[in-house]
Structure 1
Amino acid sequence: MAELGKNLGDDKVKTACHLAFKAHECQDKTFLEEKRGSDVIIFAFAGSWSADEWFTAAGGQAFGEAKIDPEQFPCLRSISNDELANVNQAFLSKFVEIIEKSTLKKKVMKTFNDGKRQIIFTGHSAGGPLAIFATIWLFEQLRSKRGVQPSSTSHTCLTFGSPLAVDHIFCHAVRRENWSDHFMHFVMRHDIVPRIPLAPPSSTMGGALHEILSFFNPSARNLHVGDSTLALEFFVNVMRNASCVATHAACTLMGGTNMLMDTISGFIQLSPYRPFGTFVFCSTNGRQLVVKNPDAVLQILFYSLQLNSEMEVSGAAKYSLYAHLAYEDEIIKNLGRQSVDCFDTLGEIPLNSCDSIDPQIIVTDETLNDFGLSARARLCLRAATEYEKQKAANLSKMERKKRIMKDAMTELESYRSDCEARGGYYDSFRKNQYTEDFQANVRRLELAGVWDEIVEMLKRYELPDEFEVQKEWVDLGTEYRRFVEPLDIANYYRHLKNEDTGPYLERGRPKRYRYTQRWLEHSGQKPSGSCGESVFWAEVEELRMKTSNRQPFAALKQKVDEIEKNLKEWLREGTVKKDAFLQGSTLVKVWTELHRLNPTEVQDITGFTRCSS
């Protein structure tokens, strides 16, 4: 069972599957729990057979998606790009209702506090997304309130036939936090349900989805749906939309310039939902394919349900519904068998079945054939694999530039020391009177080029997901921001760019500083904007101009108080250096003038350094 998760065993998966189906049959409760010995407790969520609880029209989004609440799920975002994850609003609302109104929260936290049991969340069908959100909720609780890194726990989520319910940013965030291995999703090759969210509700809601769900409803099961024209049309519609999503994703992976796909995506909105975690695809003959690469999972979801001819469509539509109810039988029968293949270790993917004598290629080819993966599918899988390799290559490229970056920072550190005799680091560079100032500007521009290259990769998600939380890069980015951003601010105001562009903080601040500041705030679990020690010079410059323009002090008081409070803290921490308080510096001049005008409300500048001593 090692291939399917180091913290699991076959018996735990079977027990979780059994309880998930028991919850499926028990619609009068939102979740069931079962203790297994003294070391495991399983919480299983019941699904829903109401179309309104699969997709909601609220918010006007075509696929019923909504951005997560950053207060409730602060990790579910892109740190650098500051983008929140989108999830299925109906499923999320159902989970929030459960956590707020049921005993689940109390029971889960009691189990964790006891510290004796592994917690497993599970669900079949629409119960799957609830199990996912419950697991993320627990990990967020542990991270923010307990100081526990969820990656070091054994708590797990197991889903069976779960519909897709989250977007690519959710996947990125979970991989970044090292939570991905805690999620395992079992999918029968022919099960249509995991693919349903790839089609817009507008094309499935008009009675069709309600009728399809009635096939799965244990209290009102309508088996005639499987033989109906409606089931056939539903199957074709879902797979047609899945084709658009998979093809567009494959073109993006390959870096192609398919004008037709660009045109289609311009007026046809594609589903935002994407896979994440570990997927275990189950074939009809008992073979299991374990896939962690989310781009590969998306391609397999589409291509493994492709048909050889139109004659097969009717039978496939019916079987795609029955497959959704077959998990418990298949898991019990096949789990633990030796026919488990891990996609990451398959090696080179042959584009066609061949007569190769290489044992590895033969095994790979047999596995791909078992899941009906055509030459086109295999090409897409190759692209997914190469895309991950390219991310690693991009990281290696940046790693090789670290030495250059650190050397430039060392030169700036020496420059900073020399500036103490010339009025301070900031003001010396702002005046730009010496050769050393010119050389410092060259280093500033060199570093900007490297960091802007990193920013562009992050904008396109072309670096490994964990990049923005790696301690060495967080530390390097923080050091860079504190050393170099004051120089950017000095350059900005020396050239009067504020008169054309506006205040630095509003219109002039480069992304390289915004990104690295967010890294530090995330790693330290600090509020957004709290690590602004590198931009206080821009705030001082704006105060300087406002006092020169005789703005009333009442309009400035809140900002003055904020800067005073922050400067004292940053001086104590050492993140702002005392050379900022040298006689004649911009800061001293501004604060001396403010104190002269308002001695009762503005502190004497000499009091700052005394407070920090």
Structure 2
Amino acid sequence: MGPSPTLNAASLAVSLSKVVPYRAQIEWYKNWCDEQDDQMGYYDSFKRRSSSSSKRDMKVNINRCKLARFWNNIIDMLERGELPHDFDKRAKWVNSSHFYKLLVEPLDIAEYYGKGMHITKGHYMHHGRERRYQIFDRWWKDKTVINGSEENKERSKFASLTQDSCFWARVEEARDWLNCVRSERDTNKLSLFWDKIEIFEKYAINLIENKEVSSDVLFKNSSYSIWVEDLRELRQPTANVQRLPHQFPVF
């Protein structure tokens, strides 16, 4: 017989403190990317990193993998009955897993699309998302149900982390729909793609207006900003409209 669930939980609390530096280094990486002149943000910076990437990028990738192993181990222990039955309802673990998901899942999405895995497997949301994130979604949702809806305070500034951890995966799908619109000739299929594009557009605008995104979403060279510009261009009455120079103010 192994240690009791209570002892295992106490041991995991110590382990959590040991992986906090990995998380902190990824936070530092995000802040560093936000300050760069290239105006890409940490999602696109990580996605576009080259095979000969810097030590900084490699360190972030290693930390990303270490954190994944840590959280996967917790889920395995919980499912084997090695942790208290209410472990997934304890605020410490629900909040920690939620913060981890918001911080790190965008890097997982960047890795998925940066390596072109969507071409062979399909888009991230249905074919690439790790099971741990789906479990953490449930933990967070259950917490909200038990404690009542989160207070809907109006934000005065953008969130430190985008509150939809799959936002960039949705952007990538929306980029694919734009490409389909450019090449599709079937009017029924075209209508379907435009419906999807408009639904995502409204969703993204709502997040931005409520300041539920991190400021890097609106950086000039982020995937989202480029998508917005491409969409505007596609809606122009003539197909040969030239892309506006970046120095022109965006309406």
**Which bracket does the TM-score occupy, shorter chain normalised?**
0.7 to 0.9
2:152 alignment partner in structure 1: none
Decide which structure has the larger Cα Rg and report it: 1
Deviations 1:564-609 (A, max 9, x none): 3433444466542011111111111112111222369xxxxxxxxx
1:506 alignment partner in structure 2: 126
- Closer, same or farther: CA 524–561 of 1 in aligned 2, 3 Å: farther
SS of 1:548's partner is helix
- Check conservation: 2:102, 2:163, Cα contact below 8 A: no
CA distance in 2, matches of 1:599, 1:393: 63
Q: Which has the higher contact order (CA 8 A, sep 6+)?
A: 2
Aligned residues: percent identity? 28
Deviations 1:46-73 (A, max 9, x none): xxxxxxxxxxxxxxxxxxxxxxxxxxxx
CA distance in 2, matches of 1:569, 1:471: 28
CA distance in 1, matches of 2:137, 2:101: 8
CA distance in 1, matches of 2:209, 2:174: 23
CA distance in 2, matches of 1:548, 1:535: 20
Tell me the amino acid that sits aligned with residue 556 of structure 1.
F
Matched, 1:582 2:244: no
SS of 1:438's partner is helix
2:46 alignment partner in structure 1: 429
Shift of 1:461: 3.5
CA distance in 2, matches of 1:575, 1:411: 23
Q: State the TM-score, normalized to the length of structure 1.
A: 0.32
SS of 2:4's partner is helix
Tell me the amino acid that sits aligned with residue 86 of structure 2.
E
- Closer, same or farther: CA 599–534 of 1 in aligned 2, 3 Å: farther
1:412 counterpart (18, 26, 39) = 26
Matched, 1:391 2:5: yes
2:174 alignment partner in structure 1: 543
1:591 alignment partner in structure 2: 228
Matched, 1:488 2:108: yes
Tell me the amino acid that sits aligned with residue 540 of structure 1.
V
- Closer, same or farther: CA 431–471 of 1 in aligned 2, 3 Å: same
- Check conservation: 2:177, 2:197, Cα contact below 8 A: no
Matched, 1:534 2:165: yes
2:94 alignment partner in structure 1: 474
- Check conservation: 1:455, 1:512, Cα contact below 8 A: yes
- Closer, same or farther: CA 543–571 of 1 in aligned 2, 3 Å: closer
- Check conservation: 1:543, 1:556, Cα contact below 8 A: no
CA distance in 2, matches of 1:557, 1:499: 22
CA distance in 2, matches of 1:547, 1:554: 12
Deviations 1:143-195 (A, max 9, x none): xxxxxxxxxxxxxxxxxxxxxxxxxxxxxxxxxxxxxxxxxxxxxxxxxxxxx
CA distance in 2, matches of 1:400, 1:507: 34
- Closer, same or farther: CA 466–555 of 1 in aligned 2, 3 Å: same
1:518 alignment partner in structure 2: 138
CA distance in 2, matches of 1:557, 1:390: 55
Shift of 1:541: 1.0
Tell me the amino acid that sits aligned with residue 18 of structure 2.
I
- Closer, same or farther: CA 555–454 of 1 in aligned 2, 3 Å: same
- Closer, same or farther: CA 584–513 of 1 in aligned 2, 3 Å: same
Q: State the TM-score, normalized to the length of structure 2.
A: 0.75
Tell me the amino acid that sits aligned with residue 228 of structure 2.
W
1:274-423 aligned within 5 A: 390-420=4-34, 421=36, 422=38, 423=40
1:443 alignment partner in structure 2: 63
SS of 1:545's partner is helix
1:88-487 aligned within 5 A: 390-420=4-34, 421=36, 422=38, 423-432=40-49, 433-487=53-107
CA distance in 2, matches of 1:447, 1:546: 33
Matched, 1:497 2:117: yes
Shift of 1:435: 2.9
- Closer, same or farther: CA 392–582 of 1 in aligned 2, 3 Å: same
Deviations 1:209-266 (A, max 9, x none): xxxxxxxxxxxxxxxxxxxxxxxxxxxxxxxxxxxxxxxxxxxxxxxxxxxxxxxxxx
- Check conservation: 2:171, 2:224, Cα contact below 8 A: yes
SS of 2:30's partner is helix
CA distance in 1, matches of 2:193, 2:73: 38
- Closer, same or farther: CA 462–571 of 1 in aligned 2, 3 Å: farther
Deviations 1:419-469 (A, max 9, x none): 021420100011114332221111101101101111212333332111111
CA distance in 1, matches of 2:19, 2:209: 27
Tell me the amino acid that sits aligned with residue 140 of structure 2.
L
- Check conservation: 1:536, 1:563, Cα contact below 8 A: no
Instruction: Pick the structure with more helix per residue.
Output: 2
Deviations 1:500-549 (A, max 9, x none): 2221111110011111111111111299xxx9700011111122223224
- Check conservation: 2:106, 2:165, Cα contact below 8 A: yes
CA distance in 2, matches of 1:574, 1:449: 32
- Check conservation: 1:478, 1:516, Cα contact below 8 A: yes
SS of 2:98's partner is helix
- Closer, same or farther: CA 575–462 of 1 in aligned 2, 3 Å: farther
- Closer, same or farther: CA 454–396 of 1 in aligned 2, 3 Å: same
Tell me the amino acid that sits aligned with residue 32 of structure 2.
D
- Check conservation: 2:125, 2:169, Cα contact below 8 A: yes
Q: Give the superposed CA RMSD.
A: 2.7
Deviations 1:98-152 (A, max 9, x none): xxxxxxxxxxxxxxxxxxxxxxxxxxxxxxxxxxxxxxxxxxxxxxxxxxxxxxx
CA distance in 2, matches of 1:553, 1:426: 29
